[in-house]
Homo-oligomer: A and B are copies of this chain.
Amino acid sequence: MTDFPPGIAYIDGEFVPISEAKISVLDWGLLRSDATYDVVHVWKNRFFRLDHHLDRFTASVSKLRMELPFDRDGLEDILHRCVVRSGLEDAYVEMVLTRGVSPTFSRDPRDAVNNFFVFVIPFGWIADEQQRARGLRVHIASVTRIPPSSIDPTVKNYHWLDLVQGLHEAYDAGKENVFLGDGRGNITEGPGFNIFAVKNGAVTTPATGVIKGITRQTALDLCAELGVETRETEVSEGALKSADEVFVTSTAGGIVAIAEIDNVKIGESTPGAITKKLTELYWTKHSDPAWTTAVIV
């Protein structure tokens, strides 16, 4: 028997325990990774930037030429009901639309019946408490991130084998996480997070070839609020290693400092001053009604 984390799901039109939430092995979401998704988190019973996640999810669905069974209000309603039923105050809420099953196993994606589901599990972190306090030690992988000419990274997708192989490389090198490059000397992203460099008080992050993370956008917004200059541009591996501070952003844990890249220590001490300020402001926003939506019980 498989063990599962606590949680619940909405699938096939029903709410079920997470252990019973399953899709057919014939679902093209598995057999072609033909699917899109989004993850919004709930912190102390409040969704964080829910509208941003819904905007991105519905845009991703359109780009893949799929259709949701609900309009936007219906979608939001299901998310609230899932979180309430989960009983979780701090939760990781993943909404998924797959191409679904074709009754004839036809190879034409237009013949499949799209499959929508949601699952809610406890809030998770890309780094544990100790790692967040001292900063992560990361490896830059030899494998390169799937380029935007092949897969549109603005469609949030499950094409992650490059990131997973990168993780194995990182563990082999005694590191805790991984950054992938674009094969031309620039950095892209890691498994589930965007990457930022701070140099002389200004912040840069890769402009292209990366998911446009909601937490990435949040970091840019918070920089603006703090009067910190930001630029979306190419960020070379060299510039990253010689930055004063490096941090990553993810729905799974917010803003996390990087202490070392390939044995190169980053900055004077970790977390750096700007990373620290952003992290504090990020968590402050979690009780601000302008940034959050209370879960409707």
Residues of A within 8 A of B (CB): 2-5, 9, 11, 18-19, 21-26, 28-35, 64-65, 92, 96, 98-101, 103-105, 107-110, 113, 117, 119, 121-122, 124, 126, 143-147, 149-152, 155, 157-165, 167-168, 171, 183, 191-192, 252
A171 with B110: in contact, given A26-B4, A159-B159 (CB under 8 Å)? yes
A151 & B146 in contact (Cβ 8 Å cutoff): yes
Question: Do B34 and A161 touch (CB < 8 A)?
Answer: yes
10 interchain residue pairs of minimum CB distance:
A3-B103, A22-B22, A32-B160, A33-B33, A146-B150, A150-B162, A21-B25, A5-B105, A144-B149, A33-B158
Identical copies of this chain, number = 2
Q: Sample 28 A-B pairs with CB under 8 A, ordered by A number.
A: A2-B101, A4-B24, A4-B26, A5-B104, A9-B25, A11-B25, A21-B24, A21-B25, A21-B26, A22-B23, A29-B30, A30-B98, A30-B158, A31-B158, A32-B161, A32-B163, A33-B158, A64-B161, A99-B164, A105-B124, A108-B171, A109-B168, A143-B149, A146-B150, A147-B150, A149-B183, A150-B150, A155-B161
Chain B: CB-nearest residue to A6: B105
Q: How far is the CB of A184 from chain B (nearest CB, A)?
A: 11
Contacts known (A109-B164, A109-B168, A143-B150); A103 close to B4, Cβ less than 8 A? yes
Inter-subunit contact A167/B109 (CB<8 Å): yes
Residue in chain B with minimal CB distance to A106: B124
Complex interface: chain B residues within 8 A of A163 (CB)? 32
B32 touches A164 (CB 8 A): yes
Closest to A32 in B: B160
CA–CA, A155 and B158, complex, Å: 17
Assess A168 versus B65: contact at CB under 8 Å? Given A144-B149, A150-B145.
Answer: yes
Knowing A96-B25, A159-B161, the reply to whether A4 touches B149 (Cβ < 8 A) is no
A33 CB to nearest B CB, Å: 4
A33 and B146 alpha carbons, distance in the complex (Å): 13
